[in-house]
């Protein structure tokens, strides 16, 4: 009898323990993101008074996540992350900027505070991060300018994001240190560019080239040189640009000049004759090369012609080739994964010699080394 009573007591205690365990809930605060309903919504930010002729958009979700984009559709993730509420406002921690993952250790953050009219005031921090750009929240040139995010209302009409920019060849002449330079900038359809500087006052030929990528948003033109940082430029009209170009022989300095779209066909500026040996044999071949004012070239060997872009640099004694796409003949800096390069020097007559020019002699993608010597003009 005593054993039965003891068994019943143990069973009852077991049921009570199980019930107690089942009633315990996980700490939702530690597992669930903070709900920021007071600031959740879509916002627009007009950056024109801060020196960037651009309107960008911010979406804050109830789960404390955010995204910056270029339209109210938020189809493009320019930057994104999470928001934390602080004692004096809100802290944005970026987890992605320009499609690159970021972490807390990167220290990329912005701050803002909520105003009475439900706008977001970002002047409590120095900048926000948007794609390849950073936008400062105040302006030394315009003390009244502030970076404020305003709510997108039902009657909001987004400004046009169309640009007057058009790819092509833009040219200008300018004088620097008593030397007259010609600048040709070729913007290609594949979002790449090449800047070509030539000196018309020197007895010896002078060439400097810069290649990279570009992006356009309304009146904003951004250049990103290969291996360099983003440079802000402007679209003045459909045929005029304000572009920051490298200063000759001082590649860490730049000068802003105005360039006009050229409607003329590129001019042939140099011709070359060359010869080489087929790789792995003693067979010798002859070749010809033409270089044009827009940085393009045409090499001809054995009846086969190849076109592309050539970047000459007399200061460093080098050149690089950017052949056109071998499948569809698209022109640009980004059409091939391997960029052939060689040496550039001058002979006793001041003519350019291109050594180790890797030339194609047929539809095959194989290349053979060739040396070209500039012909008399």
pLDDT-above-90 percentage for the chain: 61
Confidence check: pLDDT of 342 > 90: yes
Confidence of residue 276 (pLDDT cuts 50, 70, 90): very high
Indicate the DSSP class of residue 142.
-
Phi, psi values for residue 364, rounded to 5°: -60, 145
Calculate the average pLDDT of the chain.
Answer: 87
Between 331 and 25, name the one with better pLDDT.
331
Confidence of residue 205 (pLDDT cuts 50, 70, 90): confident
Asked if CATH classification 2.60.40 holds for the domain at 41-151, the reply, yes or no, is: no
pLDDT-above-70 percentage for the chain: 89
pLDDT tens by residue, 3-33: 554 454 445 544 444 344 443 444 444 445 5
Give the dihedral of Cα atoms 245, 249, 252, 258; nearest 10 deg. -10
Residue 29: the pLDDT is 42
Nearest to 297 by CA among 262, 342, 259: 342
Residue 354: the pLDDT is 98
Confidence of residue 251 (pLDDT cuts 50, 70, 90): low
Alpha helices in the chain (DSSP H): 2-23, 28-31
Gyration radius (Cα) of the chain, Å = 31
| Tokens found for residue 56 | 């960008």
Domain limits, the chain: 41-151, 168-261, 268-374
**pTM > 0.75:** no
Element housing 87 (H / E): none
Asked if CATH classification 2.40.128.300 holds for the domain at 168-261, the reply, yes or no, is: yes
User: Residue 349: how many CB atoms within 10 A of its CB?
Assistant: 8
pLDDT tens by residue, 100-124: 899 888 999 999 999 999 999 999 9
Confidence check: pLDDT of 56 > 80: yes
268-374 has the same fold as 168-261: yes
Confidence of residue 279 (pLDDT cuts 50, 70, 90): very high
pLDDT tens by residue, 129-178: 988 678 899 988 889 999 999 999 999 998 876 788 999 999 999 887 77
CATH topology of domain 268-374: Lipocalin (2.40.128)
């Amino acid at each position: 009898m005593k054993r039965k009573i003891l068994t019943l007591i143990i069973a009852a205690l077991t049921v009570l323990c199980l019930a107690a365990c089942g009633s315990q809930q996980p700490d939702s605060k530690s597992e669930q993101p903070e709900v920021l309903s007071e600031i959740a919504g879509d916002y627009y930010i007009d950056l024109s008074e801060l020196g960037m002729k651009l309107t960008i958009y911010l979406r804050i979700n109830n789960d404390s996540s955010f995204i910056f984009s270029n339209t109210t559709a938020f189809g493009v993730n320019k930057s994104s992350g999470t928001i934390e509420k602080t004692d004096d406002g809100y802290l944005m921690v970026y987890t992605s900027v320009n499609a690159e993952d970021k972490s807390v250790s990167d220290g990329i953050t912005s701050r803002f505070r909520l105003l009475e009219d439900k706008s977001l005031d970002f002047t409590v921090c120095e900048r926000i991060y948007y794609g390849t750009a950073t936008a400062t929240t105040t302006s030394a040139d315009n003390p009244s300018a502030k970076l404020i995010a305003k709510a997108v209302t039902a009657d909001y009409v987004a400004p046009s994001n169309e640009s007057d920019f058009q790819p092509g060849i833009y040219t200008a002449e300018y004088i620097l240190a008593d030397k007259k330079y010609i600048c040709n900038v070729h913007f290609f359809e594949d979002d790449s560019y090449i800047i070509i500087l030539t000196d018309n006052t020197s007895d010896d030929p002078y060439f400097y080239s810069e290649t990279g990528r570009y992006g356009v948003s309304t009146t904003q033109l951004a250049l990103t040189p290969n291996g360099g940082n983003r440079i802000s430029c402007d679209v003045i009209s459909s045929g005029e640009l304000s572009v920051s170009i490298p200063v000759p022989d001082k590649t860490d300095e730049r000068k802003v000049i105005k360039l006009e779209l050229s409607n003329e066909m590129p001019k042939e500026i140099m011709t070359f004759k060359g010869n080489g040996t087929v790789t792995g044999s003693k067979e010798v071949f002859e070749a010809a090369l033409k270089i044009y004012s827009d940085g393009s070239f045409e090499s001809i060997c054995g009846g086969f012609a190849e076109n592309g872009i050539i970047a000459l640099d007399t200061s460093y004694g080098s050149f690089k080739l950017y052949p056109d796409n071998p499948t569809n003949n698209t022109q640009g800096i980004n059409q091939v994964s391997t960029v052939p390069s060689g040496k550039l020097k001058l002979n006793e007559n001041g003519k350019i010699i291109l050594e180790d020019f890797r030339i194609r002699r047929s539809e095959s993608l194989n290349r053979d080394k060739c040396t070209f010597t500039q012909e008399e003009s």
